[in-house]
Amino acid sequence: MLKDRRSRLTPWFDREQLDCLVVEHLPNLRYLAGFSGSSGLLVLTRDQGWLICDSRYTLQARQEVVGLAVLEHGQRHEALAQLHNEQGWQRIGFEAAHCLVSTQQELQQQLPGATLVALPAELDEIRARKDQRELEALADVASLASQALQSVLPLIRPGLVEADLALELEIAMRRSGAEAPGFDFIVASGERGAMPHGRASNKQIQSGELVTIDFGAVLNGYHSDETVTIGVGRLDQRQQQIYDVVLEAHDRAVAAVRPGISCKELDAVAREYIREQGFGDFFGHGLGHGVGLEIHEKPTLSPRSEAVLDEGMVVTVEPGIYIPGWGGVRIEDTVAVTGNGCRLLTGVTKKLMVV
């Protein structure tokens, strides 16, 4: 499987006339080599590869990395320089999208005589299309997180502190086997719901409020992402109306997901409906994003995105309405693009729940 992933890089070697490719961005390193440590460097040629790590990870790397040599070295760029001298490489590709200027300068100093070839975000784009094992991993983590949220729903009541709800949700995920939360959970009640990234605070949830909960887990390196907005106590007509608008926008966009649709076309499906209902000024962010080894991956679903969906991509669909001084509603599912549509990976009902 990993060998097949690495074989997808062959056209780059031809196009850029590369002697080798250097990978340091950890999600890309894990994708290509299977290494899950927090520090390492991968060097790939057309038919060889080396994983360089320090002594903290040598045993781990030898267990995880298949088909590549594992080199232990305290300074990975020095180890790269030694390989460079031994192999006589002339053109060396690197991940420009994930490389600081200072790192590029260090590489140039360590690799005298070599030409560094900047590759923008192409590795990230390769990761956008998931293989079957990745799709299974993403389905597993989405199911885990959805079940964890459902298990803490009975705790939601007037007086509950947002941060306490976030903590209980994280505990439920970890008890179910999650490695970590996928990100800092958003729990935004009442007027705080107008903040799309309103992380859980010390505010108490009140009766008559909407509560937006954006949550996810990490399992085997893969992330989940899901958002529900829940009513607490009796809701008024305006709250119900805005919820219904967001839900319809969400449902229309999910129904439109298919191979070949552009990301900006899909964004427009939800955005135009929200605009037609009079709330266009209150939906400011893109419709969604890719999910995988990172919580935000390519492609991006937005009015400016030129990307096109393809089978095997996994993206979020998350329209929202956010009104300052009133609050907000966001509804989000993660979907896998199939041959003729999509399938939901996340599992909490998006019908309005009132507790």
Whole-number Cα distances in Å, 285 to 256, 276, 328, 337 = 19, 17, 13, 22
Distance from chain centroid for Cα 130: 12
Angle at which helices 76-87 and 101-110 pack, to 10 degrees?
40
What's the mean pLDDT in 284-295? Answer: 98
pLDDT single digits (tens) 133-158 = 999 999 999 999 999 999 999 999 99
CA-to-CA distance for 345 and 336, rounded, in angstroms? 7
Q: Which fold has domain 132-354?
A: Creatine Amidinohydrolase (3.90.230)
What's the mean pLDDT in 61-88? Answer: 95
Higher pLDDT, 276 or 2: 276
Mean pLDDT score of the chain: 96
CA-to-CA distance for 319 and 333, rounded, in angstroms? 10
What's the mean pLDDT in 45-59? Answer: 96
CA-to-CA distance for 230 and 239, rounded, in angstroms? 11
What's the mean pLDDT in 317-331? Answer: 98
| Contact call for residues 333 and 137 (beta carbons, < 8 A) | no
pTM, 2 dp? 0.95
Q: State yes or no: pLDDT of 75 exceeds 90.
A: yes
Q: Encoding tokens for residue 323?
A: 């009104």
Q: Encoding tokens for residue 71?
A: 């080199």
pLDDT of residue 99: 87
Phi, psi of 51 (to 5 degrees): -105, 120
What's the mean pLDDT in 231-248? Answer: 98
Q: Is 238 left (phi over 0), alpha (psi -120 to 50) or beta?
A: alpha
Q: State yes or no: pLDDT of 121 exceeds 80.
A: no
Q: State yes or no: pLDDT of 123 exceeds 90.
A: no
pLDDT of residue 62: 96
| Contact call for residues 186 and 147 (beta carbons, < 8 A) | no
pLDDT single digits (tens) 164-175 = 999 999 999 999
| Contact call for residues 158 and 232 (beta carbons, < 8 A) | yes
pLDDT of residue 342: 98
Confidence band, pLDDT 50/70/90 cuts, at residue 3 = confident
Q: Where are the alpha helices (DSSP H) in the chain?
A: 2-7, 10-16, 26-33, 58-64, 76-87, 101-110, 122-127, 132-152, 162-175, 237-256, 263-276
Q: State yes or no: pLDDT of 253 exceeds 90.
A: yes
**2-127: CATH class:** alpha beta
pLDDT single digits (tens) 290-299 = 999 999 999 9
- Closest C-alpha among 207, 215, 208, 216 to residue 187: 215
Confidence band, pLDDT 50/70/90 cuts, at residue 181 = very high
Confidence band, pLDDT 50/70/90 cuts, at residue 79 = very high
What are the structural domain ranges in the chain?
2-127, 132-354
